[in-house]
Amino acid sequence: MDMTKPLNPSRQSQVADNGEINLSEIIGTLWRGKLIILGAGLFGALFAIYYAFFVAVPVYTASTTVALESRQEQIVDIESVMTGLSGDQATINTEVEVLKSRELIGTLVDDLNLVADPEFNTELQPKPRFSIRGTLSWIIRTIRGGTVAAEEPDPVQVRDDVVTEVLGHLSMSNVRQSFVFTITATTEDRRKSALIANRLAELYIQDQIAVKFEKTERATEWLSGRVSELRIQLEEAETALKSFSSNTDLISPEGLFALNRQIKELRERRDELAKQVGEAEASVSTLKDNADAAFDQRAAVSNDPRLVALLSDVASGDADAQEQFDDRYQQILTRAQQEQLRAQQQLRIIETSITDLAGRIDRQSGELVRLQQFQREAEASRLIYEHFLGRLKETSVQQGIQQADSRLLSQAVVPQSPSAPRKARILVMCVFLGLVGGAGVVLAREAAQNTYRISDDLEKATSLPVIGQIPKIPARQRKNVLKYLSDKPSSAAAEAVRNLRTSVLLANLDNPPKVIMSTSSIPGEGKTTQSLAMAQNLAGLGKSVLLIEGDIRKRVFSEYFDIKTEKGLLAVLSGEVSLQDAVVWNDQLQAYVLIGERSKVNAADIFSSETFGRFLAEARAAFDYIIIDTPPVLAVPDARVIGGSVDAIMYAVKWDSTTRRQVSEGLRSFANVNVKVSGLVLTQIDKRGMKRYGYGDSYGSYSNYYHE
């Protein structure tokens, strides 16, 4: 075994090595704590009976149902100001919240005058003799050194508190896959429960109608004002249209189109005249430029047949012909200039007409746009006015024909029996909770256990065998321990010591132990009693036994024996006396005793010396068995030093006292020096304690063999 590894607590045995919960261990733990669990269940039953029959106030529950009308009959086929509900889930949830609204509950409180009901108004309930609030108020008044007049409750706050209290007595729910709401009221009076449920349903339906009337009235009032405003706006728009029409020329889109066509024709005419003016100016310029040219050239540029005809006479030198030629050419030039002037005048006239006509078109276009704007404004005002006027008439017709979106499906009836407390259910629940609580206490106690109560846990945690289980010996003084074992050889303690002796002697059949050491983790675990009982039992076999007090620091043998000698272990080791002279025979023990002595030298150094080894060799030769009682291993190192020289080590663990950590550290200290512990002894076992913890079945079957 590797003692350097930490030891596993036994409560971890409830979890298997693969991490799974060991149900058998848990069931065993619960079975051992069955009395606690049953006691907790009984307490729960008593509490349930007390609460259900003597404390709980009977309350009565009444329910009324309201159906949501998702499709309503229309008396008139006009659009309503406030339409009916759609019936989808969001609407249904909204209506449930409306039923829970403080405004509606406040109306219920005022309607039924629930402020005067002590069940809902805590101010009307009798004051308790003792309350934390009253005590604090008294302390504050005492500190201030005077009396403070009680403040009158605020009516608004009282009403709000009553509304909150009533809400706590009401519940609203929607029946799945339907448009039906259930209103449930729970109070201490059966008739009051039915009254509240029915009245709340009626107020809810009335509230729907009132809301629609209010919405319709407000819509009618608003529409009336709006229609008046729109009528004034329509009159103003029509007046502006008439005024504008009377102050402008009669215009129309068709007339404006004719003007645009006319100006287009004038512009085309202007272009032709401009071309003619250009041609006339070119002709006049050509004629002027050739006025002094030769006759044939002038005849060519003038393109006049008469001038061409006169060329032959002019060429012959005829003076009259030349004069006629000049006169004719001058006439042609004058006529060309006149045509140029006439074309220019016509062009100017047309341009003036175009300019005037363009200005007229621009002016009439703007006026037409404004006229159309006035017409549109007047038409729009008329349409809006007619629409709002129609809605006003429809809304006026709707007043008085509004319907609620819900109807009362069934009224609440007065309950004949209370709905709470449900005594059978309370009893079952309290018993169940008591059993669960008791099981939790048992498991929590088991989980918090840090000691050893049974040998199985000790073996699992240490991987060492438990070679003995010694019960608590009923001896008031240590001196009476040996007397008890001698006088009652058939007692449980004597049988346990014999079992321990058998386990130690049979631990190694090939090399039976002669030197046996007894130790423990801490003081008070019964290791010395174990040493004495072992020595006495071995002596009962007819063997020569030596009991050595190895705890020379504390020296407790004087509490068990009346030994007068002062020479003991140290005197033998120092050679001052021989072993035969130092040992003392004890009649009650039927064995020899070697007491310890005080020493200024460290005890561990003494037991580590070769002298101590020679001493043990001498003792082996002189006695059949040697029992050494050593100090606790966690207190001083003496036990670890002595353990290297002995044949067997009995390690005492006090029942339900020594912690797991102490046992683990004590065994690890032996493993660190390569000293093997032969076995563990569970000491001072309390039989009553075992039964109290639920382990009595582990030991009760052996009680028939014991005779105290």
In a domain, 236, yes or no: no
Comparing 389 with 658, the larger pLDDT belongs to 658
- Do 633 and 500 lie in one domain? The reply is yes
Comparing 374 with 648, the larger pLDDT belongs to 648
Residue 535 confidence (pLDDT) above 90: yes
Residue-range definition of the domain harbouring residue 270: 253-397
Residue 4 confidence (pLDDT) above 50: no
- Do 377 and 305 lie in one domain? The reply is yes
In a domain, 13, yes or no: no
- Do 502 and 595 lie in one domain? The reply is yes
Residue 169 CA from chain centroid, whole number:
28
In a domain, 390, yes or no: yes
Pick the last residue of a domain from 356, 376, 397: 397
Q: What share of the chain is helix, strand, coil (3-state, %, to 5)?
A: 60, 10, 30
**Angle at alpha carbon of residue 266, lines to 260 and 271, rounded to 5°:** 130
For residue 245, the tally of other CB atoms under 10 A from its CB is: 14
- CATH of residue 547's domain is 3.40.50.300
Which residues is 594 bridged to in the sheet? Answer: 548
Which residues is 67 bridged to in the sheet? Answer: 180, 407
Residue 73 confidence (pLDDT) above 80: no
Mean pLDDT of 683-705: 65
Strands across the sheet with 170-174, in order?
170-174, 180-187, 60-68, 406-410
Q: How far apart are CA 271 and CA 464, in angstroms?
A: 133
Q: For residue 633, which phi and psi values (nearest 5 degrees)?
A: -70, -30
pLDDT value for 533: 92
pLDDT tens, residue by residue, 554-585: 888 888 888 877 788 888 988 899 999 999 99
Whether 484 and 470 have beta carbons less than 8 Å apart is answered as: no
Q: Transcribe 92-135 into DSSP letters.
A: HHHHHHHHT-HHHHHHHHHHHTGGG-TTT-GGGSPPPS--HHHH
Name residue 156's amino acid.
V
pLDDT value for 315: 77
Q: What six digits make up the tokens of 412? A: 């609440």
Mean pLDDT of 33-44: 90
Which residues is 519 bridged to in the sheet? Answer: 651
Residue 509 confidence (pLDDT) above 50: yes
Banded model confidence at residue 203, pLDDT cuts 50, 70, 90: very high
In a domain, 659, yes or no: yes
Residue 133 confidence (pLDDT) above 80: no
Comparing 255 with 3, the larger pLDDT belongs to 255
Pick the last residue of a domain from 397, 423, 440: 397
Cis peptide leading into residue 421 (ω within 30°): yes
Whether 302 and 287 have beta carbons less than 8 Å apart is answered as: yes
Phi/psi zone of residue 21: left (φ > 0), alpha (ψ -120 to 50 degrees), beta?
beta
Query: In whole angstroms, how far apart are CA 500 and each of 47, 467, 567, 632, 652?
Result: 50, 6, 31, 20, 11
Mean pLDDT of 442-451: 83
Q: How far apart are CA 457 and CA 442, in angstroms?
A: 17
In a domain, 177, yes or no: no
Residue 616 confidence (pLDDT) above 70: yes
- Do 553 and 690 lie in one domain? The reply is yes
- For residue 552, give the 3-state DSSP assignment: coil
Report percent pLDDT > 70 for the chain.
88
In a domain, 143, yes or no: no
For residue 395, the tally of other CB atoms under 10 A from its CB is: 23
Mean pLDDT of the chain: 83
Long-range CB contacts (< 8 A, 24+ apart) of 389-395?
A: 389/227, 389/230, 391/223, 392/220, 392/223, 392/224, 392/227, 394/78, 394/79, 395/81, 395/216, 395/219, 395/220, 395/223
Banded model confidence at residue 80, pLDDT cuts 50, 70, 90: low
Cα dihedral 193/198/200/205 (nearest 10): 170
pLDDT value for 139: 75
pTM exceeds cut of 0.75: no
Using alpha carbons, select from 317, 325, 336, 331 the residue that is nearest to residue 299: 325
- Do 634 and 530 lie in one domain? The reply is yes
Whether 253 and 365 have beta carbons less than 8 Å apart is answered as: no
Residue 6 confidence (pLDDT) above 50: no
Count how many domains the chain has.
2
pLDDT value for 477: 76
- Do 454 and 393 lie in one domain? The reply is no
In a domain, 377, yes or no: yes
- Do 477 and 617 lie in one domain? The reply is yes
DSSP strand pairing (406-410 vs 60-68): antiparallel
- Do 463 and 605 lie in one domain? The reply is yes
Mean pLDDT of 218-235: 86
Mean pLDDT of 275-304: 82
pLDDT tens, residue by residue, 173-197: 998 888 898 999 999 999 999 999 9
Residues sharing a CB contact under 8 Å with residue 574, sequence separation 6 or more, in sequence order: 611
Q: How far apart are CA 433 and CA 533, in angstroms?
A: 49
Whether 661 and 8 have beta carbons less than 8 Å apart is answered as: no
Residue 658 confidence (pLDDT) above 80: yes
pLDDT value for 507: 79
Mean pLDDT of 111-130: 84
pLDDT tens, residue by residue, 577-608: 999 999 999 988 899 999 988 877 787 888 88
Whether 641 and 604 have beta carbons less than 8 Å apart is answered as: yes
Mean pLDDT of 442-469: 88
Q: Transcribe 558-585 into DSSP letters.
A: GGT--------HHHHHHTSS-HHHH-EE
| Weakest-pLDDT range from 108-117, 184-193, 257-266, 396-405 | 396-405
Query: In whole angstroms, how far apart are CA 708 and each of 484, 703, 704?
Result: 10, 10, 11
Q: Which residue blocks in 6-71 are alpha helix, DSSP H?
A: 23-32, 34-50
In a domain, 651, yes or no: yes
Which residues is 471 bridged to in the sheet? Answer: 685
pLDDT tens, residue by residue, 426-445: 999 999 999 999 899 988 88
- Do 374 and 490 lie in one domain? The reply is no
